[in-house]
């Protein structure tokens, strides 16, 4: 498999971490030339990876590293580069200043560059890092080599921080895992175990300057120095600079108490003003409601209550006796089943428990069992965390229900984005290509921030296996391959190419794209022209249910044995997009090869799977099964002539259950929406939103993975309407690669008017449209400097120029 060259060293991220507000915005600044040139290698940069001298470096453990340094005066600048495996939280003089590293794989192991100067004083300064390596308790998304901590000073003044045996280390015996596994939760959950902390064994104040660490042993340096990717003789951690900003953060407080047993909760406890008192020898339970789903680090502060156990349980919603969630606002007659953390009180004052990783919850249940000492619960709050997307786009219409869909959809997208995109924050936190393609478009349209999209594209490129396919989800400690998702990775690169002018980045992906396409091409059946036997998991949509016998679901007929029109047409659709890329970068022979492959596949599907009596494509040449998916791909790939595409799509939309046309679920409706735009049927988009309105009516504050009964209440692939409000209703789409020009074709449906704004690399694109008598479209379009384009409306067009302009068509 051809490997792409190592990533170029980018400008390093500088950032601060504030305890109550989270990360501030990063500042980009070049670092010491010597560090860049020598890549952590020469004698000036002899930072070593550190471990504990006696414990296993690959077993579960939470560790504290400390070192006190002295400076003659408060520095104006004090830059360090820091990383750890699995993760770290860095403190300076007791203040939390950074957290990382951003998730990646061991051959692209991120480090952060931090300016410690704002937190330092003249004289002694204590650096302290909490580092954890969770072993078998780690999330599936956490890749790892072994325990390790490294810090490298950026220059001569900072080299006193370099990790070596002058640092001290302590394994914290207070920590042990709480199993939150599939057996207990009865579903696929791989976010890792919870935390159990025994306050009686916790070294309280370990991060503070006055803490006595004399009994701590010296940390053990590993034999090799830290190195950047591409250097060194061994494959432990290949360091690369972090390319995304620090996570956003803010304090979030619980909204209400929905249920309390053996506990009286003062009304202003939720604001942190009056504590809750739990008597001795009492079992008490309090159910809190956050009102909306959130991602946050819970912080529970208690006093006294020696020996009391406090269990925090987190859930998206409660379940009834049948295990159904129903309306998410309802709690009566419902029980809590969710991920747990546990804290054992030691009797001290103002002890704060915070789990190592964030939790996702709308409902948080606190269960307390006191012993002979009464307990005071001083406070319970959360520190919100997510990728720092800023909402720059807006969409408005007279239909206020659409505003609710926008708000819930954007919340869904935000909670499904951190250091990677997540399919869902509660159950998996894995970055899947099928989800990420949709998430990335939402990110571009609402925030204009493309950094997480670039990171994801690179990570999938890094994940490719020897056969040429990408892994379906990455980073992931467990390899999974979905060939259809590899095709969508190609489409995702095409999406980026259309929205951003970044030729060096996109052209560097062509080798990986070709390896994916070659795998699929080699498996085309020479006799039928359709896909032949396919290995791996050829997932399309959860519309095909889980097959317990095969231990797999979401797979259409003909996937493994050959002859699936769905998979064949997806290949043709992807070959066409790949051809655009190869042609743009001067590889015309490759481009024509893939266009010809697409034509041949389309013809084979038409010859073997088209059923004239039904006016539909069947899922296989046997013509027994039919799906919206096959017919949607037939439109997107032009397997059916353009003149017939509208009629086919109308038939797909009008199909009744009796027609046995397998419907697209929330995920695949994204491709239905693309077909609506392509065929000029975009006015049918808004009626397709009824399932989203139903989810909101059922009390969901984010959009679910699939129709009820659903596992995940927050799944970013279901947030696609947010993108479509701007792309379909307002009609804003790139007309050329790099978004060099814009094509605006609004589909207002039954709306009398609509307006929207989306960020473009050159500035904002804003539109305001209203329907006038006689089928006329009126309004204004504002384009940023240097951007032109075309406005289309019901077969008519108008040239657009930069600036604000009145339009009437």
Three-state DSSP at 50 gives strand
CA angle 307-312-313, nearest 5°?
140
Residue 173's closest CA among 132, 213, 202, 146?
A: 202
> How much of the chain, in percent, has pLDDT values that exceed 70?
93
Regarding whether 241 and 262 lie in a shared domain, the answer is no
| 218, 299: one domain | no
pLDDT for the residue 43: 42
- In the numeric block, which tokens belong to residue 348? 């001290």
Containing H/E element for 760?
Answer: strand 753-760
Residue 769: which residues within 8 A CB-CB, separation 6 or more? 730, 746, 748, 753, 754, 755, 777, 778, 779
Q: Are residues 240 and 253 in the same domain?
A: no
SS3 742: strand
**Cα–Cα distance for residue pair 161/448, rounded to 1 Å:** 37
Placement of tokens 């349980």 in the chain: 313
DSSP 198-226: EGGG--TTTTSTT---TTSPBPEEEEEE-
User: For residue 374, what are the domain limits?
Assistant: 249-386
Q: What is the CATH number of the domain that holds 148?
A: 2.60.120.260
DSSP 619: S
The C-alpha atoms of residue 713 and residue 716 are separated, in whole angstroms, by 10
Is residue 100 assigned to a domain?
Answer: yes
- Could you give the C-alpha distances from 493 to 215, 436, 580, in angstroms and in order? 54, 11, 11
Q: List, in order, residues 6 or more apart from 790 with CB less than 8 Å away.
A: 735, 741, 742, 743, 744, 797, 798, 799, 800
Residues 500/759, Cβ–Cβ less than 8 Å: no
Q: Quick one: 20 and 151 in the same domain?
A: yes
- Could you tell me the two tokens for 353? 């428990």
Cα–Cα distance measured from residue 537 to residue 167, given in angstroms and rounded to the nearest whole number: 48
Please give the Cα distance from 469 to 83 (Å, whole number). Answer: 30
Give the total number of structural domains in the chain: 2
For the chain, state the CA radius of gyration: 28
CA distance 12 to 8: 12
pLDDT of residue 14: 39
Instruction: Look at the block and give the residue holding tokens 């190869």.
Output: 582
Q: Are 420 and 141 in contact (CB under 8 A)?
A: yes
- Please name which of 106, 169, 365, 346 lies closest in space to residue 258, comparing C-alpha atoms: 365
CA-closest candidate to residue 407, choices 760, 672, 693, 677: 693
In a domain, 267, yes or no: yes
Is there a single domain that holds both residue 301 and residue 208? no
Angle at 88 between CA 84 and CA 94, to 5 degrees: 135
Our CA angle for 324, 330, 333, nearest 5°, is 70
Element (H, E) at 239: strand 239-241
Instruction: Kindly provide the b/e burial profile for residues 161-195, where b requires at least 16 CB atoms within 10 angstroms of the residue's own CB.
Output: bbbeeebbbbbbebbebbebeeeebeeebbbbbbb
Q: Are residues 257 and 221 in the same domain?
A: no
CB 783 within 8 A of CB 800: yes
Q: Could you tell me if 648 and 615 are in contact, meaning their C-beta atoms sit under 8 angstroms apart?
A: yes
Residue 632: both structure tokens together: 């949607």
How much is the pLDDT for 551? 83
Q: In this structure, are 313 and 288 located in the same domain? A: yes
- 282 C-beta neighbours (distance < 10 Å), count: 17
Residue 531 located in a structural domain: no
Token pair in block for residue 199: 């306050």
**Residue 2 in domain:** no
Q: Which residues of the chain have pLDDT under 50?
A: 1-39, 42-44, 658
Is residue 672 one of the residues assigned to a domain?
no
Q: What's the rounded Cα separation, in Å, for the pair 70 and 67?
A: 10
Residues 337 and 355 in one domain: yes
Q: What long-range pairs does 774-779 form, CB within 8 A, spacing at least 24? A: 776/808, 776/809, 777/746, 777/807, 777/808, 777/809, 778/806, 778/807, 778/808, 779/753, 779/755, 779/806, 779/807
Residue 37 resides in a domain: yes
* Residue-wise DSSP of 535-564: -S-----TTS--BTTTTB-S--TTTTTS--
Q: What is the predicted pLDDT for the residue at 550?
A: 77
Same structural domain for residues 164 and 297? no
- Asked, for residue 809, whether it belongs to a domain, the answer is no
Domain boundary among 354, 386, 418: 386
Report in angstroms the alpha-carbon separations of 588 from 140, 313, 389, 469, 477: 41, 58, 38, 23, 38
Spatial distance between the Cα atoms of 461 and 468, rounded to a whole number of angstroms: 10
Calpha distance 697→699 (Å, rounded): 5
Note whether residue 797 is domain-resident: no
Beta carbons within 10 angstroms of residue 646's beta carbon: 16
pLDDT of residue 232: 65
Residue 381, classed as helix, strand or coil, is strand
Task: Give pLDDT tens digits for 598-649.
Answer: 999 999 999 999 999 999 999 999 999 999 999 999 999 999 999 999 999 9
Q: Is the dihedral of CA 557, 559, 564, 566 positive or negative?
A: positive
pTM of the model: 0.94
Assess whether 241 and 330 both reside in one domain.
no
Instruction: Write out the E strands in 72-172.
Output: 79-85, 87-92, 95-100, 109-115, 123-133, 148-153, 168-171
Residue 337 and residue 234 share a domain: no
Structural contact between residues 89 and 96, judged by C-beta atoms closer than 8 angstroms: yes
Of 246, 667, 218, whose CA–CA distance to 432 is shortest?
A: 667
Largest CA distance in the chain: 87
Same domain, 218 and 332: no
């Amino acid at each position: 498999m051809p490997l792409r060259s190592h990533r170029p060293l980018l400008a390093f991220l500088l950032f601060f971490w504030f305890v109550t507000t989270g990360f501030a915005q990063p500042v980009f600044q070049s670092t010491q030339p010597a560090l860049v040139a020598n890549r952590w290698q020469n004698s000036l940069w002899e930072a070593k990876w550190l471990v504990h001298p006696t414990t296993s470096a690959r077993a579960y453990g939470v560790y504290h590293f400390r070192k006190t340094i002295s400076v003659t005066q408060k520095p104006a600048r004090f830059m360090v580069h820091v990383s750890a495996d699995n993760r770290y939280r860095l403190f300076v003089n007791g203040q939390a200043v950074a957290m990382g590293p951003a998730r990646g794989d061991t051959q692209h192991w991120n480090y952060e560059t931090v300016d410690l100067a704002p937190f330092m004083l003249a004289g002694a300064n204590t650096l302290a890092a909490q580092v954890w390596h969770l072993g078998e308790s780690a999330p599936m998304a956490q890749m790892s080599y072994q325990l390790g901590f490294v810090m490298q000073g950026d220059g001569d003044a900072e080299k006193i921080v370099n990790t070596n045996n002058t640092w001290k280390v302590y394994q914290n015996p207070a920590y042990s895992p709480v199993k939150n596994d599939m057996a207990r939760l009865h579903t696929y959950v791989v976010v890792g175990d919870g935390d159990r902390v025994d306050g009686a064994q916790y070294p309280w104040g370990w991060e503070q300057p006055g803490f006595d660490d004399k009994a701590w042993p010296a940390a053990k340096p590993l034999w090799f120095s830290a190195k950047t990717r591409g250097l060194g003789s061994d494959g432990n951690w290949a360091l690369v600079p972090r390319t995304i900003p620090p996570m956003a953060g803010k304090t979030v407080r619980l909204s209400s108490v929905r249920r309390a047993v053996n506990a009286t909760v003062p009304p202003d406890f939720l604001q942190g003003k009056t504590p809750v008192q739990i008597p001795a020898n009492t079992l008490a339970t309090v159910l809190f409601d956050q009102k909306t789903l959130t991602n946050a680090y819970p912080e529970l502060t208690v006093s006294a209550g020696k020996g009391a156990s406090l269990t925090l349980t987190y859930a998206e919603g409660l379940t009834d006796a049948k295990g159904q969630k129903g309306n998410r606002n309802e709690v009566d007659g419902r029980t809590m089943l969710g991920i747990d953390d546990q804290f054992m009180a030691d009797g001290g004052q103002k002890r704060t428990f915070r789990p190592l990783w964030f939790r996702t919850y709308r409902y948080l249940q606190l269960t307390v069992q006191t012993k002979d000492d009464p307990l005071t619960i001083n406070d319970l709050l959360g520190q919100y965390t997510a990728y720092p997307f800023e909402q720059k786009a807006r969409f408005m219409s007279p239909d206020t229900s659409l505003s609710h869909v926008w708000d819930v959809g954007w919340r869904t997208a935000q909670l499904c984005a951190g250091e990677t995109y997540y399919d869902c924050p509660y159950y998996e936190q894995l970055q899947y290509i099928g989800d990420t393609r949709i998430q990335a478009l939402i990110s571009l349209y609402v925030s204009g921030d493309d950094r997480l999209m670039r990171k994801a594209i690179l990570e999938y490129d890094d994940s490719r296996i020897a056969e040429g396919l990408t892994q379906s989800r990455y980073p992931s400690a467990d390899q999974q391959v979905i060939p259809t998702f590899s095709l969508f990775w190609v489409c995702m690169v095409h999406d980026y190419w259309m929205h951003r002018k970044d030729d060096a980045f996109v052209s560097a992906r062509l080798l990986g794209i070709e390896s994916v396409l070659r795998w699929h091409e080699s498996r085309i059946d020479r006799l039928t022209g359709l896909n032949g036997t396919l290995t791996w998991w050829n997932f399309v949509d959860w519309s095909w249910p889980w097959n317990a016998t095969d231990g797999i679901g979401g797979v259409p007929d003909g996937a493994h044995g050959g002859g699936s029109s769905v998979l064949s047409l997806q290949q043709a659709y992807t070959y066409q997009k790949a051809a655009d890329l190869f042609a743009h970068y001067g590889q015309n022979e490759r481009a024509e090869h893939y266009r010809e492959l697409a034509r041949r596949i389309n013809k084979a599907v038409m010859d073997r799977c088209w059923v004239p009596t039904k006016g539909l494509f069947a899922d296989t040449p046997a013509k027994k099964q039919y799906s919206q998916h096959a017919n949607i791909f037939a439109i997107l790939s032009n397997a059916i002539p353009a003149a017939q595409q509208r009629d086919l799509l109308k038939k797909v939309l009008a199909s009744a259950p009796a027609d046995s046309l397998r419907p697209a679920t929330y995920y695949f409706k994204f491709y239905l929406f693309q077909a609506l735009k392509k065929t000029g049927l975009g006015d049918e988009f808004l009626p397709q939103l009824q399932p989203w309105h139903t989810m909101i009516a059922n009390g969901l504050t984010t959009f679910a993975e699939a129709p009820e009964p659903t596992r995940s209440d927050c799944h970013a692939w279901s947030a696609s309407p947010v993108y479509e409000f701007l792309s379909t209703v307002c009609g804003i789409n790139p007309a050329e690669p790099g978004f060099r020009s814009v094509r605006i074709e609004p589909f207002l449906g039954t709306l009398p008017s609509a307006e929207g704004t989306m960020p473009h690399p050159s500035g904002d694109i804003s539109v305001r449209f209203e329907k006038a008598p006689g089928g006329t479209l009126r309004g204004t379009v504002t384009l940023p400097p240097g951007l032109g384009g075309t406005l289309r409306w019901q077969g008519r067009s108008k040239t657009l120029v930069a600036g604000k302009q009145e339009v009437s068509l």
